[in-house]
Copies of this chain bind each other. A is one copy, B any other.
């Protein structure tokens, strides 16, 4: 059995890792790390794990953890891992980082958007961006994975087939995204209280959200052009789920069927991407609790734009599920192991 350690196990993504790894046949969890709850029972923080997890929360001694674990998941605040990760750790254990620390290759761009000095810029080049459907082969050989952000995962997979083919004008691309509140984390903030979020919707981070450069980078790699976009996330009164609605002008002559065919081709063999039939719009409910991304498009001949839509569980495929998928690739496990989750309705 591969031994896994989690730093940040009592955040929403961290505890979702626990849910997934408990159902994984090749892995056992050796370390539940949580600075806020050291020495407390993990199951007393998250009551869903009563009778399933007896462990006590430990701290964040990364060097020690690397001695005890084969793989380390870090679900930690931005800048945290960059401050403590060392070559010595990477020699002992594979690291899958759910924060943004190693996602952006241009360190100065990272520092500008995040307002943080990067403490281990020397490790950035090595890190592999863990979007499995795009970078599968590199992931298999990686020691350090930059697990993608939730919005970038859903956005990139929704847009990639047309961006890759050069069938959309990337200068016209606009991404309007909507996320459930678990994406805001488990910190005690007034703005995330039930009464502030419930019966409300708002945009946030307008023209300034930190996932913007990450999305731009990925779409630039895919399209072979420098991409600059508008990206607007919105906070939705629900726990889980991300919906992306993206707009772009079609370049050249492409019928609605031809555009759709690009998705069917690219995702034919991808277990975790479901191209919906006809023009059925994706719904977050259909993927809740699973590692699926549902995508579909609608071509509008009136404006010659294509509307690209994707739905995903932000905590699963958008965080912990994709992290497990990355681990499966890195360790040569079946890519679907632990992730054959049927979405839960209602």
Contacts and interface: CB of A to CB of B under 8 A. Distances in A.
Interface stretch (A59-67, A176-184, A327-335): A176-184
Interface residues of A, number: 86
A199 to B, nearest CB: 5
Contact of A194 (B194, B247, B280, B292): B194
A125 interface: no
Interface in A273-303: 274, 276-277, 279-290, 292, 294, 298-300, 302-303
A238 B237 CA distance: 7
A18 to B, nearest CB: 8
Given A186-B193, A344-B344, A50 B294 contact: yes
A243 B199 CA distance: 12
A226 to B, nearest CB: 12
Interface stretch (A103-111, A127-135, A150-158, A200-208): A200-208
Copies of this chain, count: 4
A188 B186 contact: no
Contact of A239 (B172, B174, B195, B207): B195
B176 A245 contact: yes
B178 A201 contact: yes
Given A181-B195, A207-B302, A285-B48, A201 B307 contact: no
A199 B202 contact: no
Interface of A: 12, 15, 19, 22-23, 44, 46-52, 172, 174, 176, 178, 180-182, 186, 188-190, 192-204, 206-207, 228-230, 232, 234, 236-241, 243, 245, 247, 274, 276-277, 279-290, 292, 294, 298-300, 302-303, 305, 307, 309, 311, 315, 340, 342-346
